[in-house]
């Protein structure tokens, strides 16, 4: 998949996250495969940002909830909200976890 997003060393973390988020959302808008969604190169680059992505991920989860749970779990190592919980409950649990850890 072609990407024009600059390397991390050439762009501020906030701008990098925004660019990767936009590309991921655009490319996976009508994708149903969770496998394809989380293996998308932009999503993987967000995971690769590590802790630097967390403030943006929690802000995004609050602003416009989406399937950010895999990234949050991969970066934090925490299993906060199982796939078997309803989406809204997963959002609530992760936002609460974020508040408890200084995000939001």
Partner 1 sequence: MDLVERGSIESMFPGLRGTDWEQTSPADPAYNCIGWAAHDTMHWWWPSAHWPVGARRDTLESFTQAFQALGFGYTTNRDLERGVEKIAIYMKELIPSHAARQLVTGQWTSKLGSYVDIRHDLNAIEGDRYGRVVQVMARPIPV
Shortest gap between Cβ of 52 and partner 1 (angstroms)? 24
Interaction between residue 28 and partner 1 (CB under 8 A): yes
Shortest gap between Cβ of 98 and partner 1 (angstroms)? 18
Out of 15, 34, 96, 99, which residue is the one contacting partner 1 (CB under 8 A)?
34
Q: Where are the alpha helices (DSSP H) in 1-104?
A: 13-28, 34-39, 41-48, 54-63, 69-76, 87-100
Interaction between residue 1 and partner 1 (CB under 8 A): no
Are 37 and 28 within 8 A, CB to CB? yes
Are 61 and 68 within 8 A, CB to CB? yes
- Candidate ranges 1-9, 49-57, 72-80, 82-90; the one touching partner 1 (CB under 8 A): 82-90
- Calpha distance 56→16 (Å, rounded): 10
**Which residues of the chain form contacts with partner 1 (CB under 8 A)?**
28-35, 38, 65-67, 83-84, 86-88
């Amino acid at each position: 998949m072609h990407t024009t997003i600059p390397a991390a060393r050439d762009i501020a973390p906030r701008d990098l996250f925004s660019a990767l988020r936009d590309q991921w959302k655009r490319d996976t808008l009508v994708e149903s495969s969770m496998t394809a969604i989380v293996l998308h190169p932009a999503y993987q680059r967000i995971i690769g940002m590590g802790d630097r992505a967390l403030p943006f991920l929690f802000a995004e989860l609050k602003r416009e909830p989406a399937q950010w749970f895999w990234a949050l779990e991969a970066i934090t190592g925490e299993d906060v909200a199982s796939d078997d919980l309803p989406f809204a409950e997963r959002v609530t649990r992760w936002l609460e976890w974020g508040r408890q850890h200084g995000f939001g």
